[in-house]
Chains A and B, each alone.
Chain A
Amino acid sequence: MRRRVLPGLPLSLGITLFYVGLIVALPIGALVFKAASLGPQDYWRIVSSGRALASYRVTIACAAAATAFNLVFGLALAWVLSRYSFPGKRFVDAIVDLPFALPTAVAGIALTTLFAANGWFGSVLAQAGILVAYTPLGIVVAMTFTSLPFVVRTVQPVLEDLDPALEEAAQSLGGSDLSIFARVILPLLAPALLAGVSLSFARSLGEFGAIIFIAGNQPFETEITALLAFIRLEEYDYQAAAAIASVLLVTAFAILAATNLLQARALRYMQRA
């Protein structure tokens, strides 16, 4: 039977293509064009300069640390929210989204105030000799905050829909809680964890607003890549800004592609199982 065709294809597709073209594709194209017009030698000189390399190191190391923390904390939070009941649970479930809803600049000044040497947490930590604000640790704190909900929100629905029969079968075979968690539950959560981790890592690499307040922004020490692109702009060095921004762009696309690939494999595996 032939399907009836609904009206509105030219209008809706026209609006969509025009908007995506004007708002998304045009600026990205312009950035790539600008970076490409540099020539390979100049481009390489800019993106492999000592200061740029140091910024990649700081950004990647801090993003990895923040993501590792969020993997553990996000899994624990998703577990607690989907398995236990306790007073205030609904409040906790709602407030988990705060890092997404709160503007990053607001998060930045709030975290800086808390973790500065005279702040509520900073003063306690300073007595133990731990400095957070204006050190790489501050960057980790800011990244952890802004990417906090990703792992929770990707793992939570999967955990809620987990078939209790699987656990019961493992329990009836005499498995301990720990071994059932490690060998039955964790593998089932793996694709969702992977999705949450890659979202969290990608967000941390690109984060700007929350970090610049708490980081101290010293070149080679606490300068993230996004800030370096911003600084080059303020110095009217547009080519360097384009080159460094293009590195961030390519990294984002690489993570996007890698995640898609890994998830396609995980999906095939799940369907076969």
Chain B
Amino acid sequence: MAHAPHGRPPRVGDGAAVRRALIAFVLAVGAILVLAPLVVIFAQAFRLGIPAFVANIAHPDTRHAILLTVLTALVAVPVNTVFGVAAAWAITRFDFPGKRALTVAIEIPFSISPIVAGVAYLFVYGLQGLFGPALQAAEIKILFALPGIVLASMFVTAPFVARELIPLMQAQGRDLEEAATSLGASGWRTFFSVTLPNIRWALLYGVVLCNARVMGEFGAVSVVSGNIRGQTNTLPLHVELLYHDYNTAGAFAAASILTLLALVTIVAKVLLERQGAGRVRRPALAAPLPAALSTAAALSPAEGAKP
């Protein structure tokens, strides 16, 4: 792209000086802001050597934090996936009043601070909240226990799967499913043999991003978990706890696991994008407003219209 084909003038900004200056600027800032944090995490994690790293990871509290984080994801991600598919099916396959409002409501968690989400959950299930006294009378523990952590994680990631599926299924239209049902296929059969093969990569994409956020969520979970060491500490909370204990090597060892997860997520994202997932490109793992999507799609018709 750097050199125009013969005879034609170079494009704007293709001059060597401009090009070199811009690339140098971008690489320098990227190295300082993105690459250096990545390097420092592993440098600190292995600062005391590999045996110390292994001992830090193998510590019972760290192992418990990993287990709790995996457990949270095992509940929150499948539930969010079912919700995302149901929401995309309802919104793209039917017309009903309030559809636009529902689409916006699904996206709301993206624009809300995780701290606000945590505080809001406290006022539902906490002792000073709506159901708190009743739950205590029934001896059901939601806050400062696994259910609260799962609920807060589900709030934060509620839009992830739906957001990948809705634009795609909208673009695909209803014709194939209508043909299948008119030929006598049941609703489930239509979904599993017609819809699912068409959306599988986008679905997987949404699941991968959802999982990364669930396992990494900090703000919302730190409000509702109670931070009980070895009991309700997820891995990101455990990182904070070790860091504030001045156990830097331990904190970074735990952090390196989460970093590895982030790197795996990025690789999976790149591979899935090659399969066509995330084609209407948007910022992943965080906050797009619905209007941002429609504008991006409208401004790049070629991308939005690809089948």
Chain A contact residues, CB within 8 Å of chain B: 3-9, 11-13, 15-17, 19-20, 23-28, 30-31, 33-34, 73, 76-77, 79-80, 83-86, 92, 94-107, 109-111, 113-114, 119-121, 141, 144-145, 148-150, 153-154, 156-158, 160-161, 164, 167-168, 171, 177, 180-181, 185, 191-192, 195, 198-199, 202-203, 205-209, 213, 226-227, 229-230, 233, 238, 241-242, 245, 248-249, 252-253, 255-256, 259-260, 263-264, 266-267, 270-271
A187 → chain B, closest Cβ, in Å? 12
CA distance A17 to B101 in the complex (A): 12
Report B-chain residues with C-beta under 8 Å of the C-beta of A119. Answer: 40
In the complex, residue of chain B having the shortest beta-carbon distance to the beta carbon of A15: B86
Q: A113-B40, A158-B299, A158-B300 are in contact. List 20 more A-B contacts (CB 8 A).
A: A3-B174, A4-B181, A6-B93, A6-B177, A24-B105, A83-B14, A96-B30, A97-B266, A101-B212, A102-B216, A103-B258, A106-B216, A120-B36, A141-B33, A161-B300, A171-B12, A180-B12, A195-B295, A203-B287, A252-B116
Is there a chain A Cβ closer than 8 Å to B190's Cβ? yes
Report A-chain residues with C-beta under 8 Å of the C-beta of B70. Answer: none
A76 adjacent to B218 (CB under 8 Å): no
**A interface secondary structure, majority:** helix
CA distance A260 to B269 in the complex (A): 28
Give the size category of B's interface with A: 35 or more
In the complex, residue of chain B having the shortest beta-carbon distance to the beta carbon of A149: B283
In the complex, residue of chain B having the shortest beta-carbon distance to the beta carbon of A28: B120
A92 adjacent to B27 (CB under 8 Å): yes
Q: How many A-B residue pairs have CB under 8 A?
A: 362
Report B-chain residues with C-beta under 8 Å of the C-beta of A266. Answer: 295
Given that A104-B216, A150-B283 are known contacts, is A192 also in contact with B113, CB under 8 Å in the complex? no
In the complex, residue of chain B having the shortest beta-carbon distance to the beta carbon of A262: B291
A133 → chain B, closest Cβ, in Å? 13
Report B-chain residues with C-beta under 8 Å of the C-beta of A154. Answer: 282-283, 292, 296
Is there a chain A Cβ closer than 8 Å to B219's Cβ? yes
User: Which of B17-25, B56-64, B133-141, B199-207 is the interface stretch?
Assistant: B17-25
Is there a chain A Cβ closer than 8 Å to B54's Cβ? no
- Which of B86, B187, B240 has the most CB atoms of chain A within a 10 A radius of its CB? B86
Is there a chain A Cβ closer than 8 Å to B228's Cβ? no
CA distance A249 to B123 in the complex (A): 14
B71 → chain A, closest Cβ, in Å? 17
A31 adjacent to B23 (CB under 8 Å): no
B259 → chain A, closest Cβ, in Å? 6
CA distance A208 to B114 in the complex (A): 8
Q: Considering the complex, which residues of chain B in the window 1-29 have a beta carbon less than 8 Å from any beta carbon of chain A? A: 1-2, 8-9, 11-15, 18-19, 22-23, 25-27, 29
